[in-house]
Amino acid sequence: MKFFDSHCHLDSMRYGAELPDVLERARRAGVSGLAIIGTRAADSAAAAELAAREPGLVAAAGIHPNDASEAEPSEWDQIVVLVESGRVAAVGETGLDWFRTTAQPEAQRDFFDRHIRLAQRAGLPLVIHTRDSTSDCLAMLREANARRPLAAILHSFTGTVAEAAEAVELGCHLGFAGMVTFRSAAALREVAKTVPLERLLIETDSPFLSPEPLRGQRNEPANVVHTATCLALTRGEPLADFVAATTANARRVYRMAGIP
């Protein structure tokens, strides 16, 4: 089986000298594809460099909504240059986060809009973070889609069944991370059951969100196997079919056709 971790933050700033071991453990676990997602200019550039030298890896460049107030104008310029250079496969992580107050809502909306327009201009998918903000994100996506088609991934999805349906109707892919494996997350598993298989992605969001039975440890892409197993069981689908479908979905949305 070939798994695809569709959203992780892998760089030497987070994993230090262990990074090669982390990648090796992922390969041994059968994780053949990884999308490394940037959150600032520095780690977006690092993600692009790593993706350029390791097979099966793609990168995304963006500024996380929680950093929208802090980012200097020059940092956004670096993201634009990176995207236009063709070295990344997606734009993000962007989105809206209404739970925390570290970034002003208006700054978040402004940055989300810039990322949307950049992704549309570059013809790349958009990687979206939502927290307490799914309906507002979907409203902005709907508006953007009316201008020009846009491929979007709602990562670490924790919205309702209705929001999942609306996102699917808008053409989005939905990524499910480790929290779907938690005993207490029955409601989220119910949501995951309703998402069409062709729109489902699995992810670790490493180094965050370690799945059961690894809660409390630093997460890494090899652990996507646990999330895949839980989701396949929840949905009543054979694991091999589920993994093949989610890997094909990730390769399609990250435009990896022709890349081994």
Partner 1 sequence: MSTESAMSAMPAEPLAHLVAVLQPSLAMYLADSGLGTYPGPDQIRLALADLVADHRSLIDRGTAILEEREVPVPKVFYPLSFTGLHDVDLRHFLPRIVAGLRRQTGELERIAAVADDASAAGLAAEALRSMPQHIDSLEQIATRLRAGLLAKQGPDGPGGSGSEPPAAPPAAL
Which one among 6, 32, 60, 67 touches partner 1, defined by CB under 8 A?
A: 67
Residue 124 in contact with partner 1, rule: CB under 8 A: no
Nearer to partner 1, 71 or 245 (CB): 71
Which residue among 34, 37, 228, 245 contacts partner 1 (CB under 8 A)? 37
230 binds partner 1 (CB under 8 A): no
The residue range among 139-147, 177-185, 196-204, 239-247 that interacts with partner 1, by the rule CB under 8 A, is: 177-185
* Nearer to partner 1 among residue 57 and residue 245 (C-beta): 57
List the x/- string, 231-250, binding to partner 1 by CB under 8 A.
Answer: --------------------
At residue 95, what is the residue type? G
Told to check if 162 binds partner 1 by CB under 8 A, we report no
The reply to whether 74 sits near partner 1 by the rule CB under 8 A is no
Q: Which range touches partner 1 (CB under 8 A), out of 127-135, 194-202, 232-240, 251-259?
A: 127-135
Q: What is the DSSP string of the chain?
A: --EEEEEE---HHHHGGGHHHHHHHHHHTTEEEEEEE-SSHHHHHHHHHHHHHSTTEEEEE---GGGTTT--HHHHHHHHHHHHTT--SEEEEEEEE-S--SS-HHHHHHHHHHHHHHHHHHT--EEEEEES-HHHHHHHHHHHHHHS---EEETT----HHHHHHHHHTT-EEEE-GGGGSTT-HHHHHHHHHS-GGGEEE---TTS-PPTT-TTSPP-GGGHHHHHHHHHHHHT--HHHHHHHHHHHHHHHTT-TT--
Q: Is 5 in the site for partner 1 (CB under 8 A)?
A: no
- DSSP states of 20-48: HHHHHHHHHTTEEEEEEE-SSHHHHHHHH
| Smallest separation, CB 75 to partner 1 (Å) | 11
User: Given the complex with partner 1, which of 32 and 39 has the nearer CB atom?
Assistant: 39
Token code pair at residue 158: 């924790």
Task: Name residue, tokens 């994780």.
Answer: 31
Of residues 73, 184, 236, 258, which one binds partner 1 by CB under 8 A?
184
Residue 105 interacting with partner 1 (CB under 8 A):
no
**Which lies closer to partner 1 via its Cβ, residue 53 or residue 183?**
183
Cis peptide before 207 (omega within 30 of 0): yes
Q: Is 198 in the site for partner 1 (CB under 8 A)?
A: no
Q: How far apart are CA 29 and CA 195, in angstroms?
A: 26
CB-nearer residue toward partner 1: 125 or 211? 211
Contact pick of 179, 200, 232, 256 for partner 1 (by CB under 8 A): 179
Judged by CB under 8 A, which of 24, 52, 99, 148 binds partner 1?
99
Q: From the list 208, 235, 239, 252, which residue makes contact with partner 1 (rule: CB under 8 A)?
A: 208
